[in-house]
C-alpha cells in the first residue's frame, strides 16, 4: 500500500481557496497531515454579489457553521429561485424554483396532469402549484418544516451572499482549525524532472514550500495547472454565446427580493442580486453583438439606487481545462474553467469538485484510474450544465435583436436536441447521468418558454378530467393559503438573522 498524503498546498484564496481549506480542514483532523494556503496579497476581490443554489446551505452546515451566523457575517438574503424576465418574449416572465411542481398522483408525473387539462382547454399555470414560486411572488420567505408530511411543502432554498465577506468568514474558520495561511505570490513552480509532478513552490518572500497534493485555486491564470503544467483549455465559445460582463454595486432600494432576477437584454442578460446592505448588478453579454461601452451604458441605465462602486468590466475564457486533475495537481473553481453564471453554479461547481476529490482522495501513488474517473465525472457534469444553459437561449421566441435571432439558430449538442424533441413530442423529460438540474428545473424552462407537447402521457386517459381538476384546485388553494400566512422576506430577516451594522458597506 502506498504512503498517505501528508502535505496539502492550496494556491489561491478567495471563495474557492477558502472553501477548499475549510472543507479539507475537517478531513485532515486527527491525521498526520498539514494544510497550507498561499494567498496573493495583490489580488483585488471583485465582490459583485454571489447567488448560490441549495447545496451551498448543506455545505456550510456540514462544516458545522450555524446558519444565522453565516447569514449575518455575509450580509446574506434568501433565494427561493430565479425569476427570468423577457427571455421568452418581451413582457413575459417565469420562475425557476428549487422545488418540484405539485405532487405525483397515482405515481404519474404531476406535469402530465397539467398537460392533459391544458390540452382540453383548461389553461392551467403550473406555477400555481409551486409553494416557493407563490411565496416569491408575494415577497415572502419561510423555512421548510422538516417534520411536515406534505409533498407540497417540500422545497429548498439558497442564499445571496457577499462573496468577499464569505471568504473572510472562511479564512477565520479555517485558520482556527489549523490551516497555515501565507500571504505571498508564487514566483516559481518546481516540477520533478522524472515524472512531471509538482515538487515545490518558491514564493516571492523567499520561502520554499514543498507538498504532496497541490490544489490550484488561482483563478483564470491557473498558475499551477496551466502556468506550470500547460494542460490547455477546451474552448466552449462556439456553444455559449456570452463572453463578457460589466458589474456595479448600488444601494439597495426597497426590500430585498427572496430570489435572483435574470433580465434578458439586447445582447445577453442582467443579474440583480440583493444583499442586506446593497444590490449586486451585472450585465453578461456577447462581444460579437455589442461593445463594452454600450453594455456599460445599458447596465447603468437600468440599475436603481446610488452607485457605490465603479463599473468593472470582465472578459472571460469560455471553456474548461482538458483535465482538471493532472498528476498531483487538482484545479478548482476558475482554474478548472468557466461557464457563464446564468444558473448560479460557480460555487456549486467548487463544492461538487471537492466532493469528487474527497471520494477519490489519493495516496502517494496517485492512481491514474482514480484521476481518470474524476476527470470523466467532471466533464460529464459540465456537459449536462452546458445543455441546461443553452436551453435558456435556444428556446427564445425573441426576434427583436441580432443576438436573440442568433440564439434561435445556433447549433446545440445532440443531447439537448434529443431532450427538447422528447418534451415536444410527449412531455417527457429525458434525464442523463450526472445532471446538476433535475426534472423540475427542466420543466420550468419548457413551461417558461411556452413549449407545448404534442401529446401527454396516455395513461392519464384512464382518469376522470373533472376529478383531476378538482384535485388540482385543492392543491392550488392549499398553496395560496400557506403563502399568504408567511412573513415577508425582510420581516423574516429582521426577526431571525439581521446582519450587524459593523459589516455594512464592506
> What amino acid positions are annotated as catalytic residues?
79
Cell of 49: 454579489
**Cα 311 to Cα 21: distance, rounded to the nearest angstrom:** 31
Helix (H) or strand (E) holding 162: none
**Phi, psi at 315, each rounded to 5°:** -120, 135
Are 339 and 396 in contact by the 8 Å Cβ rule? The answer is no
345 in Cβ contact with 53 (< 8 Å): yes
CA distances from 369 to 212, 261, 326, 358 (A): 18, 42, 12, 15
Q: Strands of 208-210's sheet, edge to edge?
A: 186-191, 198-203, 208-210
Which residues 6+ apart lie within 8 Å of 78 measured at CB?
A: 141, 157, 158, 159, 160, 258, 489, 492, 493
Beta-sheet pairing, 244-250 with 279-285: antiparallel
d(CA 457, CA 440): 17
In 3D space, the residue among 82, 27, 37, 76 whose CA is nearest the CA of residue 56 turns out to be 76
Amino acid at each position: 500500500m502506498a504512503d498517505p498524503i501528508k502535505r496539502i498546498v492550496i494556491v489561491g484564496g478567495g471563495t474557492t481557496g477558502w472553501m477548499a481549506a475549510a472543507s479539507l480542514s475537517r478531513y485532515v483532523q486527527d491525521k498526520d497531515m498539514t494544510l497550507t494556503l498561499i494567498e496573493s496579497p495583490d489580488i483585488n476581490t471583485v465582490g459583485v454579489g454571489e447567488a448560490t443554489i441549495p447545496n451551498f446551505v448543506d455545505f456550510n452546515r456540514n462544516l458545522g457553521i450555524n446558519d444565522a451566523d453565516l447569514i449575518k457575517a455575509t450580509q446574506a438574503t434568501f433565494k427561493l429561485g430565479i425569476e427570468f424576465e423577457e427571455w421568452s418574449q418581451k413582457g413575459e416572465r417565469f420562475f425557476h424554483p428549487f422545488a418540484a411542481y405539485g405532487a405525483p398522483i397515482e405515481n404519474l408525473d404531476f406535469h402530465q396532469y397539467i398537460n392533459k387539462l391544458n390540452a382540453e382547454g383548461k389553461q392551467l399555470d403550473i406555477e400555481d402549484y409551486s409553494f416557493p414560486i407563490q411565496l416569491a411572488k408575494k415577497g415572502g420567505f419561510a423555512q421548510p418544516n422538516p417534520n411536515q408530511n406534505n409533498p407540497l411543502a417540500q422545497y429548498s432554498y439558497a442564499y445571496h451572499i457577499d462573496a468577499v465577506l464569505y471568504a473572510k468568514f472562511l479564512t477565520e474558520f479555517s485558520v482556527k482549525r489549523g490551516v497555515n495561511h501565507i500571504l505571498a505570490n508564487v514566483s516559481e513552480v518546481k516540477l520533478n524532472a522524472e515524472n512531471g509532478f509538482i515538487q515545490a513552490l518558491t514564493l516571492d518572500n523567499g520561502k520554499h514550500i514543498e507538498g504532496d497534493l497541490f490544489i490550484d485555486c488561482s483563478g483564470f491564470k491557473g498558475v499551477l495547472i496551466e502556468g506550470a503544467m500547460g494542460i490547455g483549455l477546451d474552448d466552449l465559445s462556439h456553444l455559449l454565446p456570452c463572453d463578457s460582463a460589466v458589474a456595479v454595486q448600488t444601494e439597495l432600494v426597497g426590500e430585498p427580493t427572496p430570489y435572483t432576477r435574470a433580465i434578458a437584454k439586447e445582447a445577453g442578460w442582467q443579474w440583480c442580486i440583493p444583499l442586506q446592505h446593497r444590490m449586486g448588478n451585472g450585465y453578461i453579454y456577447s462581444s460579437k453583438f455589442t461593445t463594452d461601452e454600450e453594455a456599460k451604458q445599458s447596465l447603468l441605465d437600468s440599475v436603481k439606487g446610488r452607485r457605490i462602486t465603479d463599473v468593472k468590466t470582465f472578459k472571460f475564457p469560455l471553456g474548461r481545462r482538458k483535465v482538471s486533475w493532472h498528476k498531483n495537481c487538482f484545479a478548482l473553481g476558475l482554474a478548472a474553467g468557466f461557464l457563464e453564471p446564468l444558473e448560479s453554479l460557480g460555487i456549486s461547481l467548487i463544492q461538487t469538485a471537492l466532493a469528487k476529490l474527497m471520494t477519490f482522495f489519493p495516496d502517494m501513488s496517485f492512481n491514474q484510474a482514480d484521476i481518470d474517473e474524476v476527470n470523466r465525472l467532471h466533464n460529464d457534469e459540465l456537459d449536462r450544465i452546458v445543455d441546461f444553459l443553452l436551453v435558456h437561449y435556444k428556446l427564445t421566441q425573441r426576434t427583436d435583436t441580432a443576438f436573440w435571432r442568433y440564439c434561435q439558430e445556433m447549433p446545440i449538442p445532440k443531447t439537448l436536441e434529443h431532450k427538447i424533441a422528447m418534451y415536444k413530442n410527449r412531455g417527457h423529460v429525458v434525464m442523463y447521468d450526472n445532471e446538476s438540474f433535475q426534472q423540475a428545473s427542466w420543466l420550468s424552462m419548457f413551461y417558461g418558454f411556452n413549449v407545448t407537447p404534442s401529446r401527454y402521457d396516455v395513461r392519464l386517459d384512464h382518469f376522470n378530467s373533472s376529478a383531476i381538476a378538482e384535485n388540482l384546485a385543492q392543491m392550488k388553494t392549499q398553496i395560496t393559503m400557506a403563502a399568504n400566512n408567511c412573513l415577508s422576506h425582510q420581516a423574516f430577516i429582521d426577526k431571525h438573522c439581521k446582519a450587524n451594522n459593523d459589516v455594512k458597506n464592506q
